[in-house]
């Protein structure tokens, strides 16, 4: 398969939709009505620049978020990350700070979910301290749910 150039001189003259690289106004494949742009047009010259090597804290942060996907809101059966109640998660030298909200102040599950969050995070390698705070402002709303949560509930994404 032919590899496209990473920085073509005139990306706008070509359709980049498949590996045929037809002229921009050709469109004989019938797949679309406009040509597909080159990533350099969409994201700029540094579209393929290697990202900076991640710091240990950043790696811990993404592993922490993955770990919290196993903490469920038992009422709706959706994890707290996709539910959007995880407001804040910062890592600093082995200490994690988590900010959580609840969908309602009348919900008695807060302490239970906090205990579970703490247990999951402390089980991660290199995590020494976990601090969990309750956040009530701004209130949770359904827009905070991820598409995964929406499709689990069968509501339009």
The residue ranges that bind another protein (CB under 8 A) are: 70, 72, 74-77, 103-112, 115-116, 119, 136-137, 139, 141-142, 145, 152-155
65 token code pair:
């978020």
CA dist., res. 57 & res. 53, Å (int): 12
Q: Of the two residues 14 and 80, which places its CB atom closer to another protein in the complex?
A: 80
Residue 126 CB, nearest approach to another protein (Å):
20
Query: To which residue do tokens 């009505």 refer?
Result: 33
CB of 75 to another protein, least distance (A): 5
Q: Residue 14 or 83: which CB sits closer to another protein?
A: 83
**76 vs 93, which CB is nearer to another protein?**
76
Tokens of 89: 């998660």
Closest CA to 132 of 104, 103, 157, 112: 112
Side-chain half-sphere CA neighbours of 142 within 13 A: 7
CB of 120 to another protein, least distance (A): 8
């Amino acid at each position: 398969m032919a590899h496209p150039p990473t920085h073509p001189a005139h990306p706008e003259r070509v359709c980049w939709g498949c590996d045929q690289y037809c002229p921009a106004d050709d469109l004989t494949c019938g797949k679309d009505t406009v040509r597909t742009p080159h990533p350099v047009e969409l994201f700029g010259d540094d579209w393929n620049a290697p990202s900076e090597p991640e710091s240990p804290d950043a790696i811990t942060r993404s592993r922490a978020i993955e770990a919290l996907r196993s903490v469920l809101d038992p009422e709706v059966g959706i994890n707290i990350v996709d539910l959007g109640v995880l407001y804040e998660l910062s890592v600093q030298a082995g200490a994690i700070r988590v900010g959580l909200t609840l969908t309602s102040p009348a919900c008695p599950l807060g302490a239970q979910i906090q205990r579970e969050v703490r247990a999951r995070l402390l089980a991660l390698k290199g995590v020494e301290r976990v601090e969990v705070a309750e956040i009530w402002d701004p209130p949770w709303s359904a827009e905070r749910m991820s598409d995964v949560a929406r499709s689990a509930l069968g509501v339009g994404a």
